[in-house]
RNA sequence: GGGAGUGUCGCAUAGUGGCAAUUGCACCUGACUGUAAAUCAGGGGGCUUCGGUCUGCGCUGGUUCGAGUCCAGCCACUCCCA
């Protein structure tokens, strides 16, 4: 099976500028392509992960990836598909984030022996001269056309500043720059980047009279049309400090039935034939097996086999009664929080970070959603005696181990 | 620069001068389940010795016994004119 076919069967391909040409190039392993990552936070998230997987697949097929870190574009912020303007980040924050990105990426992409390279567009964007830029690049962009782009639509209500409007030009310039300096003839990215990417191919055509290609991958949406990899509390991060491997595992273990197969196809390296086979008989308990596979595979890819096993064990211990509780998220309560070796249930929950406030804890307790060592606690005044390990449970799925510290 | 408007819980929306403040979505808890979906029931600022108490409707002041609600100034955004 060719890479292209694989990508297609996994449902990863969204839009392509020239299907035949792209197919040929990437199947032959002759493409030099880039994907841009703007350092908007100090950790990558699932969307980045998909892009990195795409890179890896293409790299395995012999193509050469360029990781473009958006140290320069991050100074602006991409308005595409956003309803609000991003907070402007300081130079320091951006540099810090770039470093975090680099560190995480080396897990997924092989940069040894020039098999892949990483560049930072701060190196060329920050020194641009305004007037020169306008004369050399600005002339190729039609404002009329840009205004008609779908990706700005959400901005019509809230407004779009000239500042952000320039983002597209920056990104187009990146592609142009990489094309001339590195022979990079393809740009890939999320489907929300389509307009920005076309800006680049057109700039290259207009300015150099040469062809470059762009391809987007499907955004991972759940069956309700929302972006996956987000929780109410924010993104699901790849950084174990920000989203623990167990939480990460649980997120995928809990996806809706309707989304499992899609996620397996798009996010894992489980052979496509296997997934297609599973798809044929999905009902009842099969869904749980599939979800477990998804969660395990993904956790293993992101955090390593060992962490994946631990998460799986913990999940089994907690939900199935087998296995051990040793890898459960744990909080050690310092002795000075205790009176006579006990602590109030509400305080305990807050200490463990299970709830943001005591009122919230009280509500949970009163509604019967809290148990300690498997015994329901309904009195908000209850004092919990801590000795050794105590298992705290909030709601149906949140388990937490408490130890003495 | 001129004119018209808007700014209330994560988003969206209601609010005659006496409200911790309406409704929808999302969210949280319970029941049923498969750690799913759908459905049904409950919850909603913080702290509380459960008597209260503090904070709160863009920001700052003012009028008033009392202001999300009236007045002034400021800020942000939207629309029209330049």
pLDDT given at position A324: 63
Point out the residue nearest to B26 (C-alpha to C1'): A232
Residue A9 — φ and ψ, nearest 5°?
-65, -30
Determine if strand B comes within 7 Å of the CB of A337. Answer: no
- The yes-or-no answer on residue A158 being catalytic is no
- Give dist(CA A43, CA A50) in Å, integer: 14
pLDDT given at position A323: 54
Those residues whose C-beta lies under 8 Å from the C-beta of residue A370, and which sit 6 or more positions away, are A345, A349, A361, A364, A376, A377, A392, A393, A394
Segment A181-186 shows an average pLDDT of 96
Kindly tell me if the per-residue pLDDT of A388 is higher than 90.
Answer: no
- The yes-or-no answer on residue A193 being catalytic is no
Q: What is the dihedral of CA A308, A309, A311, A312, to 10 degrees?
A: 110
Cα distances (angstroms) measured from residue A144 to each of A111, A130, A141, A201, A387 = 41, 21, 9, 18, 70
- The yes-or-no answer on residue A96 being catalytic is no
- The yes-or-no answer on residue A48 being catalytic is yes
CB distance A263 to A228 below 8 Å: yes
Determine if strand B comes within 7 Å of the CB of A165. Answer: no
pLDDT given at position A161: 83
- The yes-or-no answer on residue A314 being catalytic is no
Model confidence at A32, pLDDT cuts 50, 70, 90, reads: very high
pLDDT given at position A222: 84
> Which residue in the list A10, A23, A45, A64 is annotated as catalytic?
A45
Kindly tell me if the per-residue pLDDT of A231 is higher than 70.
Answer: yes
Determine if strand B comes within 7 Å of the CB of A285. Answer: yes
Protein CA A292 to sugar C1' B36 (Å): 12
Segment A4-13 shows an average pLDDT of 95
Segment A99-123 shows an average pLDDT of 93
Residue numbers in A 50-79, CB below 7 Å of strand B: none
Handedness of CA A65, A27, A196, A79 (dihedral sign): negative
Reported ipTM: 0.86
């Amino acid at each position: 099976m060719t890479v292209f076919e694989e990508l297609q069967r996994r449902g990863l391909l969204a839009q392509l500028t020239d299907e035949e040409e792209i197919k040929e190039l990437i199947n032959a392993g002759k493409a030099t392509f880039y994907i841009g990552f703007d350092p908007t936070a100090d950790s990558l998230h699932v969307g980045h992960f998909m892009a990195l997987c795409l890179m890896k697949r293409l790299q395995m097929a012999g193509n050469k990836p360029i990781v473009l870190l958006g140290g320069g574009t991050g100074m602006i912020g991409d308005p595409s598909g956003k309803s609000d303007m991003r907070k402007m980040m300081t130079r320091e924050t951006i540099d810090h984030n770039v470093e975090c990105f680099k560190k995480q990426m080396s897990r997924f992409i092989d940069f040894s022996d020039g098999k892949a390279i990483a560049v930072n567009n701060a190196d060329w964007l920050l020194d641009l001269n305004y007037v020169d830029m306008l004369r050399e690049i600005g002339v190729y962009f039609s404002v009329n056309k840009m205004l008609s782009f779908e990706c700005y639509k959400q901005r019509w209500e809230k407004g779009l500043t000239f500042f952000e409007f320039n983002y597209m030009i920056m990104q187009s310039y990146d592609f142009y720059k990489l094309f001339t300096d590195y022979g990079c003839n393809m740009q890939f990215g999320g489907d929300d980047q389509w307009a920005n990417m076309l800006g680049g191919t057109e700039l290259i055509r207009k300015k150099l009279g040469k062809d470059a290609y762009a391809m987007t991958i499907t955004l991972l949406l759940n069956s309700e049309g929302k972006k996956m990899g987000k929780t109410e509390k924010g993104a699901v991060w790849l950084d174990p400090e920000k989203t623990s491997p167990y939480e990460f595992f649980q997120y995928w273990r809990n996806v809706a039935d309707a989304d499992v197969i899609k996620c397996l196809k798009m996010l894992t390296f489980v052979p496509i034939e296997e997934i297609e086979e599973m798809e044929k008989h999905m009902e009842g308990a099969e869904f749980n097996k599939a979800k477990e596979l998804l969660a395990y595979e993904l956790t293993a890819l992101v955090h390593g086999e060992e962490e994946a096993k631990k998460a799986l064990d913990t999940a089994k211990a907690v939900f199935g009664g087998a296995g051990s509780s040793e890898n459960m998220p744990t909080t050690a309560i310092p002795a000075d929080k205790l009176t006579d070796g006990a602590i109030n249930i509400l305080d305990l929950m807050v200490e463990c970070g299970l709830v943001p406030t005591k009122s919230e804890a009280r509500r949970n307790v009163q509604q019967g959603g809290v148990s300690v060592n498997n015994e329901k606690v309904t009195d908000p005044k209850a004092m919990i005696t801590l000795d050794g390990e105590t298992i705290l449970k909030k709601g149906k799925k949140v388990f937490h181990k408490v130890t003495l510290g």
